[in-house]
Structure 1
Amino acid sequence: MTDNQLGEFLRARRAAVRPQDAGMASYGVRRVAGLRREEVAVLAGVNADYYTRLEQGRERHPSAQVLDALARALRLDPDAHAHLHRLAGTVPSGRFTHTTDRVGPALRRLLDGYPGAPAFVINRALDVLAANALTEALYSPFGQMDNLARMTFLDPVGRQFHPRWSYAAEATVGHLRQAAGLDPDDPRLRELVRVLTEHSADFTRLWNTHAVRGKTLDAKHFLHPDVGPLTLTYQAFDVRDAPGQQLVVYQAESGSPGAQALDLLGSLHATSRASTSAPR
């Protein structure tokens, strides 16, 4: 990560907006994939030279009003809009603190209170900090259940486990981009990005788009070698007494094939654990 994250974000998001998307006519030979700097400036109602200095890192303190105008010009969704403000420092730094990786005993008991649903706790870098038995069963095809991004991009199982791998990869990188805006100095996140960039061209390509995505509610598609395809929804909840941690719970619609597959997966995992722990 560089020291001009605001400029890189603006440049990447500008490249993702076509003139016709913004209601502008395209003219002349275009050297860029998306909008020109001058076009963004017109759409946002700011001086073109001022916008250029923002991208180049020569201006680092835009007002909240300018950022809101740029967000509209670049057609940013709410997650990306908030990320833009964080990069510019217009969100009070006191709202965001370094996370702790310690999961309290009460939260661990809560995980075990979801015997029929995979439930786990992650930090901003997508490290899995704690998980219940059904989560372990769900992710058992992986060599190690340690970090969701590493598992997606660097474990060979990832592309088979995620039948919609491209979508899962984009979402994963979007979550990490949001985390970088929340805590850009997090050493764990910096090291993770370094490793993923070094070993995965797909990660590097997606990381350079600067797309941002929050983890709230979505559908997940899995292909488990023991029970076949599963379609689950998930919800993510902030852990109030541990800023940066999230509790994630997967669920299947009652009576659906996904629910039946989860039941079977839980039974298989319980049987396997019992046979492994039985005295010999």
Structure 2
Amino acid sequence: MSSTAVNHGHRDSARRREELREFLRSRRERLSPGAVGFPEAGRRRTPGLRREEVAVLAGVGVSWYTWLEQGRDIKVSDDVLDAVAQALRLDDVEHAHLYRLAGLNPPQRRAAPSTPPSPQIQRLLDTWAPRPAYIRDRHWNFTAVNDAARSAFGYSDTDHNCLVSFFTNARFRVLHQHWDEIAPAVAAGFRADAARYPGDPEFTRIAMELTKLSPEFAQLWARHDAAEHTSAVKAVDHPDVGVMVFEATLLPLPEYPGHHLILHNPVAGSGTEERLERLLGS
């Protein structure tokens, strides 16, 4: 490793520890003693909790917590950071931020149960028309599909799961120009998502049921490939209007962990926008 890279690494680490110091101090100062069960007696020179009070709440040594807040280069563990986060009443975003500032990967946010979209997200789906869009939960179940997606991709009221529909919806398969080429990536994407939630048996149930329905999926699932995709190109050859080519972008919904909004935009110069308007206007 070059000396330049080492110097950059030292500077990045120093900035991170400085941010950690300021973050912990600001979170400590926003809490009143009474809010965490300490007596309010006596005037304090500084607002909020004292360092020793945070240490007591977190169950760690006062010296160790002081070193942490001073931004010293010390070893920390997940359990200790979780205790500090609880003591400082950090929310999920602040909790993850604390992990990153301490040089650790934040814990996986618990996925939200499958839920209909909020009115704000539903309005986005509606106004995205005439372009296709839908929302899927962590198991790839559809929670909302706009009319453009149903018309362009052949989804019907019997399509409840994106993965299952890809491998079992005959109309979707006929429409999709490059189904055989994309199928391995689709199966690999579902396996990668399943690995995010190792204690969730629903992924295994869906996969096992689908192996009985689709020999192609069974073969691909047995390969144990894993892949992550945030964008893709989707081409469909619709019998009514011809070939339409879309850029698909997958966007996480932070307020619903595990849910994603998938937006499809016509590829410029492909004639897709005009064909889509004809399809939906017919």
| TM-score normalized by the length of structure 2 | 0.58
Residue in 1 aligned with 2:167?
A: 153
Residue in 2 aligned with 1:257?
A: 271
Residue in 1 aligned with 2:177?
A: 163
Inter-CA distance 106–142: structure 2 relative to 1 (3 Å threshold): closer
Paired residue secondary structure (2:128): coil
Q: Is the 8 A contact 2:266 2:272 kept in 1?
A: yes
Paired residue secondary structure (1:236): strand
Which deviations, in whole Å up to 9, do the C-alpha atoms of 1:59-105 show, x marking residues without a partner? xxxxxxxxxxxxxxxxxxxxxxxxxxxxxxx966x313233211222
Q: Distance in 2 between matches of 1:160 and 1:106?
A: 34
Residue in 1 aligned with 2:196?
A: 182
Give the counterpart of 1:101 among 105, 114, 137.
114
Count of aligned pairs between the two proteins: 178
Counterpart code for 2:145? A
Structure number, greater radius of gyration: 2
Which deviations, in whole Å up to 9, do the C-alpha atoms of 1:92-142 show, x marking residues without a partner? 6x3132332112221111111212311111122221111222112223365
Inter-CA distance 188–226: structure 2 relative to 1 (3 Å threshold): farther
Paired residue secondary structure (1:223): strand
Counterpart code for 1:99? A
Q: Distance in 2 between matches of 1:177 and 1:233?
A: 23
Residue in 2 aligned with 1:123?
A: 137
Residue in 1 aligned with 2:127?
A: 113
Q: Is the 8 A contact 2:151 2:280 kept in 1?
A: yes
Counterpart code for 1:157? R
In the TM superposition, what is the alpha-carbon distance from 1:177 to its structure 2 partner?
0.7
Q: Is the 8 A contact 1:100 1:245 kept in 2?
A: no
Residue in 2 aligned with 1:215?
A: 229
* Structure 1: tracts of 5 or more residues without a match: 1-89, 269-280
Paired residue secondary structure (1:120): strand
Residue in 2 aligned with 1:191?
A: 205
| TM-score normalized by the length of structure 1 | 0.58
The RMSD of aligned alpha carbons is 2.1
In the TM superposition, what is the alpha-carbon distance from 1:252 to its structure 2 partner?
0.8
RCO comparison, higher one (Cα < 8 Å, 6+)? 1
- 1:260-275 equivalences in 2 (<5 Å): 260-268=274-282
Q: Distance in 1 between matches of 2:158 and 2:119?
A: 23
In the TM superposition, what is the alpha-carbon distance from 1:165 to its structure 2 partner?
1.2
In the TM superposition, what is the alpha-carbon distance from 1:242 to its structure 2 partner?
0.4
Q: Is the 8 A contact 1:222 1:231 kept in 2?
A: yes
Paired residue secondary structure (1:124): coil
Q: Distance in 2 between matches of 1:267 and 1:161?
A: 19
Residue in 2 aligned with 1:139?
A: 153
Q: Distance in 1 between matches of 2:157 and 2:238?
A: 14
Q: Distance in 2 between matches of 1:195 and 1:211?
A: 19
Q: Distance in 2 between matches of 1:132 and 1:156?
A: 20
Counterpart code for 2:238? H
In the TM superposition, what is the alpha-carbon distance from 1:173 to its structure 2 partner?
0.4
Paired residue secondary structure (1:251): strand
Q: Distance in 1 between matches of 2:112 and 2:238?
A: 32
Deviates further, 137-146 or 115-124: 137-146
Residue in 2 aligned with 1:275?
A: none
- Equivalent pairs: percent with the same residue? 25
Inter-CA distance 91–195: structure 2 relative to 1 (3 Å threshold): farther
Paired residue secondary structure (1:136): helix
Paired residue secondary structure (1:95): coil
Q: Is the 8 A contact 2:154 2:171 kept in 1?
A: no
* Structure 2: tracts of 5 or more residues without a match: 1-103
2:251 maps to 1:237: yes
Q: Is the 8 A contact 1:231 1:252 kept in 2?
A: yes
